[in-house]
Amino acid sequence: MYPRTPTLVTNPSSLQRRHPPIILASASSSRLALVRAAGLNVTVRKPSVDEDVLKRQARVEGLQAADAALMLAERKAVSISDQPGIDPGALIIGADQLLVCEGRWYDKPIDLAAARTQLQALSGRTHVLHTAVVCCRHGEMVWRHAAAPVLSMRRLSDAFLDAYLSVEAEHVLHCVGAYRLEGPGIHLFETVEGEHAAILGLSLLALLSFLRQQDVLIG
């Protein structure tokens, strides 16, 4: 366990200590919006990992989806700690998400045609979003968490898919399920179980609890 950092606050209205710096190892605009909405001051660094290779490796090794998501999140965080100019005491947040439906793993669609095919496959079925978040410090994992929100999609007509993809367009290509639950994607579902933030890609309640335990946030 690393020693707690000095209890200094960035400014009187902040819930976050001045030290250590927090780095978000993600190119996801949704994850960044979540942490900033929660009042966290983070620096964003894009991780240098090949997710497709790592996912194939996970399948070959027989990893369950939750373990694969955790592995990917850890690799992302560690890849940032190895970059030049990183404060060795920085707390690095890594995250990943895998969608699984009836045993099949889904990736972000490569184009709108692939998005349509994917949504047709998920239509009328229930899927799980295995959402992993980890924290790395001094190049070592200090915390990991996995959540598994469950979402049941209603049956989607061709007319609806035409309208939906016209409205969302390229936005669906940045989401593992080809939907943004915080946007028009909410129209796809009958029921949703789990933390809203975890569905968007980051288990925020668990992360904030860990940061308070580490005295990074005011308890």
The total of other beta-carbon atoms located within 10 Å of residue 208's CB is 18
Which residues face 9 on adjacent strands?
A: 17
87, 96, 111, 158: the catalytic one is 96
Angle at 110 between CA 165 and CA 147, to 5 degrees: 85
**49 DSSP assignment:** -
Rounded-to-integer distance, Cα 42 and Cα 61, Å: 34
Structure tokens at 177: 């399920």
CB 43 within 8 A of CB 25: no
The residues, ordered by sequence, that sit 6+ positions from 158 with a Cβ below 8 Å of its Cβ are none
Would you say 204 and 195 are in contact if contact means Cβ atoms under 8 Å apart?
A: yes
Q: Which amino acid is at 111?
A: D
Q: Say whether 96 is catalytic.
A: yes
Q: Which residues are catalytic?
A: 96
